[in-house]
Amino acid sequence: MPLDWRANFRGIYGLTAEAHSRGRSNIDVVRQMIAGGIKTIQYREKDKPLGQQYAECLAIRQLTRDAGVTLIINDYIELARLVDADGVHIGQDDLPIEAVRQLLGPGKIIGLSTHSLEQASDAMARGADYIGVGPIYATQTKKDVCAPVGLAYLDDAVRHVTIPFVAIGGIKEHNIAEVAGRGASSIAMVTEIVGADDITAQVYRLRQKAFPVA
């Protein structure tokens, strides 16, 4: 069955970050995220040799494909191509979307981090498949992160963004209901998931808090 990435996108969006995973490997973390019900995972590793990232991504591609989970690679387009990931996630200072599309070929997902409605409009006009909206709250997880855009940009995004978007940055168990309540249907978290005692149980709890089933 072809991957319905838009359906997968709704819910919790997981990201890897081995530095915050308390000794667990990215592969183990991904396995536990999937067991908890995460349907979209971004492989994000800033400081690891690329060869090591490649080996990890091959294993993670197998796990995600078997589970029907969308796999997005942060930054490294060549890595995404090599492991046949479903797409890439890039930032404002990376190659333009049109160039990334050319490198990736058709049918792949391109996500772009945005921090204002102006950037969101530009991303939509240039053909991004989804955007990241954030950081919603203060976060220590990302280096060189801009100041929190707060809930104001999230409210703007809910009203004006016509492609899927994911809220990110400083989202925790205690504020996730607020983010979901303001209309974010996809919510990304790093440390609140990868740093949990029991990742699978944590994902399950976060899903219930954000998107309780009636």
Binding region = 42-46, 74-75, 94, 113, 139-142, 170, 190-191
Q: Considering only CA atoms, which of 187, 161, 195 is closest in space to residue 42?
A: 187
Least distance in angstroms from the C-beta of 136 to ligand TZP: 8
H helix intervals, 69-167: 77-82, 97-104, 117-125, 150-160
Of 114 and 202, which has the nearer Cβ to Mg ion?
Answer: 114
- Taking a C-beta distance cutoff of 8 angstroms, is the pair 41, 16 a contact? yes
- Taking a C-beta distance cutoff of 8 angstroms, is the pair 203, 13 a contact? no
- Output the residue with the shortest Cβ distance to Mg ion: 91
Question: Is position 14 an interface residue for ligand TZP (rule: CB under 6 A)?
Answer: no
Residue 91 contact partner, candidates Mg ion, ligand TZP, none, CB within 5 to 8 A by sort of partner: Mg ion
Q: Considering only CA atoms, which of 19, 23, 62 is closest in space to residue 41?
A: 62
Reading the block at residue 29, the tokens are 């973390």
Of 98 and 198, which has the nearer Cβ to Mg ion?
Answer: 98
Residue with tokens 């890039």: 90
Identified binder of ligand TZP from the candidate list 11, 36, 134, 164, rule CB under 6 A: 134
Interacting positions 43-72 with ligand TZP (CB under 6 A)? none
What 3-state class would DSSP assign to 42? Answer: strand
Binding site for ligand TZP (CB under 6 A): 113, 134-135, 139, 141-142, 145, 168-171, 189-192
Binding site for Mg ion (CB under 5 A): 75, 91
